[in-house]
Structure formats: structure tokens, C-alpha cells
Structure 1
Amino acid sequence: MLISSIKLPRKPRYWNVGKIGPNDEDPPNFDNFRPFGPWKTPAAKQFGQVERVCGHIVNRNIYKPSKILLNSGIGRNKAADIGGIGLE
């Protein structure tokens, strides 16, 4: 039996970067989020691409702390983190 209609899951994408480099960054906030598919609120966003930070080329992301982290006390007073690795 040949199955030809398998649809692989896709990762949700929310980014708003005009071009590459620091001059084309989008603001590091969620003000321009528009709901799509089952996603009604934003959790993370890529707002900058191919930027040099401390000698490394990086993409810049912003994300909201998870409920698990908030309940643990980590990031309790934060609305969003920019480019952190989750350690405090």
C-alpha cells in the first residue's frame, strides 16, 4: 500500500526581519504578532539575522519565559528575554 498523502509536521515560524544585519532588525518585542494556525499568542520571535556579537555571527531571538520557569522563580519579573540561554 502506497501512502502518498503524508504531511510532515512543520515548525511554526514567526520572524520579522527585513534583510540581514543590525540595520534591518525588527523591534525585539511581539507587537507585530498575528495569530496563525493554532497559535494565538507568541512565545518566541527571530528579530535579527546574521549579526556580529562578540566576534560571532548570530541570529537574534526573543522569547517569553515558560510557565515552568516563572513558577520556579527564574525570570519571575521578566516580560521577555532577548538572546539569553536561560541561566541566571
Structure 2
Amino acid sequence: MRSSEVAGRAGVNVQNPRHYERRGWLDKPPRTPSLYREHPAYEMAVVRFVKRVQEHEFRLDDVEQLLHLADGVPRMARSPAKLARVNAGPAG
């Protein structure tokens, strides 16, 4: 699936998948003979996840921690509940 197709189906700008590659959230995809990036279909789920998390006003650093948590990487600086409280703002 080309970057433009991933972006279109996920409802993000075509530059987003490239940005996520640079951050290491998506693997660098192989290229077609015409040099288009060819993403595996499952990567669209990552792009959609990032978009949803950002819609809830999480910072990109928080997105990265949540992605690591989803991968089972135990290097979270904060728990998911604490991340949610920080991003929810003051109570009341």
C-alpha cells in the first residue's frame, strides 16, 4: 500500500507516514520498481492509532511511549493512566 493510500485511508496528510518512519514508529518500507514506498497494510493501524491519540491531545513523546507499551517494551516513564491524567488537564 503506497504512502498516499495509507494516509488517505487513515485520514492524515501524506507526509505523516514519512514522519512516522523518521521517528521509528513505522519500518522503512521497501520500494516498488517505480520507487514508491510500499507499506504493509497493518501499518495503517499504527497511523490511525497515532491520529486518534493526537486527537485526544497527547504529545508526540506520549504517543511514542504508548506505541512502545503496545509493543511490550517495558521502558515507560509513565503509566498509561498517568499519561491520560497529564493530558486531561486539571480536574474540575
Q: TM-score range by the shorter chain?
A: under 0.3
Q: Which has the larger radius of gyration?
A: 1
Where relative contact order (Cα < 8 A, 6+ residues apart) is larger, the structure is 2
Greater helix fraction, Structure 1 or Structure 2: 2
How does the TM-score come out when normalised to structure 1? 0.23
How does the TM-score come out when normalised to structure 2? 0.22
Greater strand fraction, Structure 1 or Structure 2: 1
